[in-house]
Amino acid sequence: MNSFDRVHAALKREPVDRPPVLPHVGDHAGIINGLSYTTMYTDAGKAAGAHLKALKLYGYDLITFQVEPSWPVVEACGAKIFFPPDKNPWIVKHVINEEKDLEKLTIPDFMEHASSSVMIK
């Protein structure tokens, strides 16, 4: 049974030869390929390449894309995120500080922000 067959069968609750392995390796894929966190968050091609190399190295069944999805979402909604080169990013300016701030939220254009557009690409 190959990875596609295994995952597909498991999702349909059919018998599989072994449980599918679907890890979220995140930025680890970049680290083992010598890429900084910054590169993983800003260069879709290099991030995808790092994930493909990690897949080949570890032999799991499915790739889940690299980044913690909350950072790109909050950035697209208007928060300010600090992306240090050797650590996970963190929020430096929040969008919602009080209840009335909820009324100001709009639907973001995810392609206008580097980190969310990298995930989409």
CA–CA separation, 82 vs 71, rounded Å?
Answer: 10
How high is the mean pLDDT of the chain? Answer: 87
Q: What is the pLDDT of residues 96-114, one digit of tens each?
A: 899 999 998 888 888 887 7
List Cβ neighbours of 80 (8 Å cut-off, separation of 6 or more). 91, 92, 93
Is-contact 27 66, C-beta < 8 A? yes
Q: Which pLDDT belongs to residue 69?
A: 62
Question: What are the structure tokens assigned to 62, written together?
Answer: 């499915």
Q: What is the pLDDT of residues 41-80, one digit of tens each?
A: 778 899 899 999 999 999 999 987 755 667 778 888 888 8
Q: What does pTM read for this prediction?
A: 0.69
